[in-house]
Amino acid sequence: MSISYAPAGKSGKWDGTMDWLQMLSGASLILFMWCHMLLVSSVVISPRLMNGIAEFFEATGMAQVGGPLIFLVFLTHFVLAARKIPFRFEGQKVIWQHARMMHHGDTWLWVIQVVSAMLILVMGSIHMWVVLTDLPITAAKSAARVQTGFWAVFYLFLLPLAELHVGIGFYRIGVKWGFIKDRERGKFKRGENILTLTFICIGLVTLARFLFFSLN
């Protein structure tokens, strides 16, 4: 009986291409999230500074074009990553059992990333839709939304989820593509944890500023 290896070869090459696209889209979103957090947190220094930055993005068309483009990259990244996520209950049960049995830190990081991805898909889509359909962005408008109460709780959940997902993703990209060697994993994990906590703290301070920002 003869066996053809052509389909397997093509399949392997296609999987490799999609892995590259997943990595590139993930790295792009990580960079965007960090820049986005720093730019929005400018309101802590001065609402005028945040408005000035927002006006620059509006005037150059980056908000109108870049926003939908980021949303497209966001959805594309989820579709690419979803190839390796078990959606059936049986598969989820096996993954959970293996994670508990192996007691492997990086396996648990993957589980956390998958769970956070599901929540971010819904919550992140809501956030981007609300912002992109209510341009231009201003400090007063953002503060008014946060001060409604519901949105404050919404962002208190989305903020740590997003930063945790981004931090783990940054670490896993480094491990998967060989940028982080085995002996360096512990040190890199500690650095990634510090970075994640730093961005969460920046986000919480920013939320507090919006929550108590005077609209007058």
Please, are residues 40 and 29 in contact by the beta-carbon 8 Å criterion?
no
Residue 197 has pLDDT above 80, yes or no: yes
Q: Is 103 annotated as a binding residue?
A: no
Q: Is 104 annotated as a binding residue?
A: no
Q: What residues have CB less than 8 Å from 109, skipping those under 6 apart?
A: 168, 171, 172
Name which of 31-35, 167-171, 204-208 the model is least confident about: 167-171
Report the topology of domain 18-211: 3 helical TM bundles of succinate and fumarate reductases (1.20.1300)
* pTM for the predicted model, two decimal places: 0.76
Count the Cβ atoms, other than its own, within 10 Å of residue 52: 11
| Angstrom distance (rounded) from CA 33 to CA 120 | 13
Peptide bond into 136 cis (omega under 30): yes
Mean predicted confidence (pLDDT) in 61-77: 84
- pLDDT above 50 (res 171): yes
Which residue has 């609402």 as its token pair? 47
| Residue 102 scores a pLDDT above 60 | no
